Amino acid sequence: MSKNRQLSVRSAGSKSDGLLTGHDRLQELMMIFPALMLLFLFLMLPFLMSIELSFTNQRLVQGPVATKFIGLRNYVRILSDHDFWQALWNVVRFSLMVIPLQCGFALVMANFLNKLCVMKGFLRSLFFLPFITPMVIVTVIWQTIYQYPNGIMNSILEAVSFGTLGPVEWLGSELWAMPAIVLLSAWQAYGFQMIIYLGGLQNIPNEIYEAADIDGANGWAQFRFITWPSLLNTNVLILIITTIQALKLFTQVNILTKGGPNGTTNTLVHYIYESGFVGQKIGYSAASSLLLFLLILGIFLVQRLSLSRLENN
Amino acid sequence: MSKRIFTSLLVVLVICSAVFAGGQGETGPSNKVSIMFQGPDTEQAAIRDSARRFTDATSIEVELLFTPHDSYTEKLAGYISAKQLPDVIQLDAPNLSNLVWSGYIEEIAPHISDALVADMTLSNKAQCTYPIDGKLYAISQIDSTVLLYANKTYLEKVGARIPRSVDDAWSVEEFDAILAKLAALPEVTWPLDIMRSYGTTGEWATYGFSPALQSAGGDLIDRDNWEAGGAVNSAESIKAMEYFQKWAQKGWLVPSSGGDNQLYNADRAAAMAWCGHWLWAPASAALGGDLVVIPLPDFGRGTVTPNGSWIWSITSTSKNKDKAGQLIEFMLTDEKFLKDWAAIGAYPALKSFARLSPDYLDPDKMAIAFAQADYAVSRPPHPAYPTITVEFARAFDAILNGTDVKTALDKAAKAVDDDIEDNDGYPPFDR
């Protein structure tokens, strides 16, 4: 124990000097070396390579025509491709629908579970279940739910509307295909946000609620003036994570619609996948993924900036 | 100090790379042949069993490299960049040209017997030939075809003529009129199922519906000058695709979330299905004598069916080409192997295999389907095929959903010609 303390004191001291003794530095480097190596090999290197590839006509299976530098041609083609802009718009549409739905539902469920006294553990695992089920399996199940004309979703619609509505062709209509994917995505993934919210809720000291009770604040007022402001940091985290997840939408689309009907569910990642692995144009595909990277980076920076400004106020 | 760190890192790296390099080694000729394949359980079992019989008969070991269908292209690209291609690879026929062009596969005739080559159907030869030199680079026991499957009761109710041979196909006008009459029958929800549930933006779109272009006199790409502009967006191609748009807009086609069994499930809600030979087994089991098999409609220049399935090739980097040829020869003449494929309803690509598949000989069953092997048109054997298929499929989906036909096909033509330009015309295809 004392040795430990000694170590931490020394490293804290040396850090403030901005210098480490040689032995410590070696030790630290050795410790982060494996992680750095892996990150470099499997993340940085491919990323740098894809920047290079994006300026070439590289194909998936290399042919006798040498790969050559084609300048900005890939970027020009992508930016003048209607499908790319449609995919971008679809991802934005998806995010705008899925983020409020998924996070809102997660918050409601977290509040419910937090107040629960009986069967706490059981219900928590139950509501967490969709998240630990692989997306592929969830998607295949929902495919049967959305079946036309006799799927469960259509039966429900018919029952609640007393037979006046439906059947709707959920996945085959330009209007409903995206909302259908939003619903299933939110259902599958809300568990993750729910757990984070639950953690956030449990960090709020009980005394504040007790004081609010004495002051006569009702449930809504407590939520509005205590819970919600206290969850600010949690919200920041959740917003960023959910946005990045939403921008990377792929699995559901690839299984359910392959981007159809008429491109209304095509997403950027599906666009990248299709040009790279089906169309076998790796250079083109690398250029599109760099654009996606820039998009995510941009959104992340905007979110960070605006949220830190919010925190400072 | 930092120098010492650097040195130690370097030592670690050198050791690591030495260990990895040692694992690979040089693979010279050996008493072993490796084979890469894909497919559902039943097909895998047939391949594994036959490989075992091969080892028993020749004492040549077979290394079985099963690769899931969905990641097959990626895996193949991986083997290629690692320069570790197996001796025998199974590949999807439309990819043949791309791989021969890239120099990864070997002419096959020198490694198998003349008798086996003579046993191939015309369609099989077509799917395995590289157009630049006209030579065979692969062989298969299986092939495929597309037909109309119809509910006989419904056809008789509307008084439709039932074609009995390939030359006797419905003209598209006749087909269109029959669809209209079927749509009026109260028990028919949809006159036609074109298997939109397979996903109309995948390979099915190109495979299943490019024959309509060819039957009309158009094509996916001009097979003389290898340009898509003027072929996929020709007046003939537009005319053929306008029929599909009309059928979709009238609500005559089973929607994509309607599944693939509306022809033969309990409701019998679809009157006809435009589908591959694989629909025969489930549809005939459910409909029995009520099921008739009809060639695809004639859009002007005679009915056209697509072809192509998974074919066997020997890689040019193989050190065991003779043994690889021996394995292919053994499997394709192994009666038990062929019977296993017959049992799962495979479409024969060898005449000897057809004799073991009674359904494909029976005029009341799939004889028309097998007769189509003489009329099949392969998908364009061009290295740009991956792009051709993606772009056509996108256009087809757009057309079914109401986009102007000419606009959609023009866009596909431009994307394909752009890709060809980016690759300098894929020499020697630019001649």
Q: What pLDDT score was predicted for residue A62?
A: 76
Contact B424 A280 (CB under 8 A): no
Q: What pLDDT score was predicted for residue B275?
A: 96
pLDDT-derived band at B28 (thresholds 50, 70, 90) equals low
Has residue B62 got a pLDDT over 90?
yes
Q: Which residue of B has its CA nearest to A169?
A: B257
The shortest CB-CB distance from B80 to any of A61, A148, A278 is to: A61
Contact B1 A26 (CB under 8 A): yes
Q: What pLDDT score was predicted for residue A260?
A: 75
Closest CA to A130 of A209, A74, A194: A194
Interface test with B, best of A278, A284, A285 (most B CBs within 10 A): A278
Q: Which CATH class is domain A73-312?
A: mainly alpha
**pLDDT tens, residue by residue, B146-189:** 999 999 999 999 999 999 999 999 999 999 999 999 999 999 99
Any chain B CB within 8 A of the CB of A130? no
Any chain B CB within 8 A of the CB of A126? no
**Mode of pairing for the β-strands spanning B146-151 and B270-276:** antiparallel
The shortest CB-CB distance from B99 to any of A61, A171, A260 is to: A61
Q: What pLDDT score was predicted for residue B19?
A: 47
Contact B257 A57 (CB under 8 A): no
Q: What pLDDT score was predicted for residue B382?
A: 92
Structure tokens at A187: 């259902």
Domain extents in chain A: 1-53, 73-312
Q: Which residues of chain A, if any, have pLDDT below 70?
A: 1-20, 313
Q: Which residue of A has its CA nearest to B200?
A: A260
Average pLDDT over residues B33-57: 95
Q: Which residues of A touch B73 (CB under 8 A)?
A: 60-61, 277-278, 280
**pLDDT tens, residue by residue, B243-273:** 999 999 999 999 887 888 999 998 899 999 9
Supply the ipTM of this predicted assembly: 0.74
Q: Which residues of A touch B199 (CB under 8 A)?
A: 257-258, 260
Q: What pLDDT score was predicted for residue B24?
A: 44
Q: What pLDDT score was predicted for residue B318?
A: 94
**pLDDT tens, residue by residue, B123-147:** 999 999 999 999 999 999 999 999 9
Q: Which residues of A touch B255 (CB under 8 A)?
A: 148, 169, 172
Q: What pLDDT score was predicted for residue A18?
A: 53
Q: How would you classify residue A116: left for phi > 0, otherwise alpha for psi between -120 and 50, otherwise beta?
A: beta
Percent residues over pLDDT 70 in chain B = 93
Contact A261 B401 (CB under 8 A): yes
Q: Three-state SS string across chain B, please?
A: CHHHHHHHHHHHHHHHHHHHHHHHCCCCCCCEEEEEECCCHHHHHHHHHHHHHHHHHHCCEEEEEECCHHHHHHHHHHHHHCCCCCCEEEEEHHHHHHHHHCCCECCCHHHCCHHHHHCECHHHHHHCEECCCCEECCECCEECCEEEEEEHHHHHHCCCCCCCCHHHCCEHHHHHHHHHHHHHCCCCCEEEECCHHHCCCCHHHHHHHHHHHHHHCCCCCCCCCCCCCCCCCCHHHHHHHHHHHHHHHCCCECCHHHCCCCCCCCCCCEEEEEEEHHHHHHHHHHHHHHEEEECCCECCCCCCCCCCCEEEEEECCCCCHHHHHHHHHHHHCCHHHHHHHHHCCCEECEHHHHCCCHHHCCCCCCHHHHHHHHCCCCCCCCCCHHHHHHHHHHHHHHHHCCCCHHHHHHHHHHHHHHHHHHCCCCCCCCC
Structure tokens at A38: 């892996």
Task: Give the count of Cβ contacts less than 8 A between chain A and B.
Answer: 116
Q: What pLDDT score was predicted for residue A121?
A: 85
With H, G, I as helix, E, B as strand and everything else as coil, classify residue A176: coil
- Alpha carbon B338 to its chain's center: 19
Has residue B9 got a pLDDT over 60?
no
**pLDDT tens, residue by residue, B266-322:** 889 999 999 999 999 999 999 999 999 999 999 999 999 999 999 999 999 999 999
Q: What pLDDT score was predicted for residue A95?
A: 94
Q: What pLDDT score was predicted for residue B15?
A: 52
